[in-house]
Amino acid sequence: MSEPMSPQQGAAMQAAGMVMTPFNPVTGAAMIAAGTVSGHQTFEIQPEQLPRVLAGLDEVRGKYVEAQRLAVQLSAVTPPFADDTTVAAFKKIRERAQGGEGCLYDTAQGMIDWVDGFKAAVQKAIEDHQRIDDENRMA
């Protein structure tokens, strides 16, 4: 049995031209596979919607980049008072922002990586659809 692959691995294979994007034979929608919280899912996107999805993914990626910027800012915040309680609270805020597993910075990076992989798959679907259209016009 083959091991499931991450969206980044799938996107890398697609970007390298190793795998052609499958299209639903009934609806014509591009079938883009991606790993999600609930497992591996296939998203069906109509070819005319692919550029719009790609633009939306750029916007989503920008939000995660902003989250990383905020995490860096939060990790540098100094407590307004030097009492033990305030110092301890601000230490926890800094740790949650940029201090290891499950921190905001790393979570945002994971989502940026996922979006990049999905964007690569959408871009590949656009290229494959264009190639199929070109081949059909030539025939």
In a domain, 139, yes or no: no
Round to whole Å and give the CA distance between 95 and 102. 10
In a domain, 114, yes or no: yes
Round to whole Å and give the CA distance between 12 and 9. 5
What is the number of structural domains in the chain?
1
In a domain, 1, yes or no: no
Using a cut of 0.85, tell me whether the model's pTM lies above it: no
**Can you give the residue range of the structural domain that contains 19?**
7-133
What CATH number corresponds to the domain at position 120?
Answer: 1.10.287.850
Alpha carbon 88 to its chain centroid, in Å, reads 34
In a domain, 20, yes or no: yes
In a domain, 138, yes or no: no
| Closest to 75 (Cα-Cα) out of 99, 55, 110 | 99
pLDDT tens-digit profile, the chain (139 residues): 344 445 555 555 555 556 889 999 999 999 998 888 788 889 999 999 999 999 999 999 999 999 999 999 999 999 999 999 999 999 999 999 998 788 999 999 999 999 999 999 999 999 999 998 898 898 7
In a domain, 2, yes or no: no
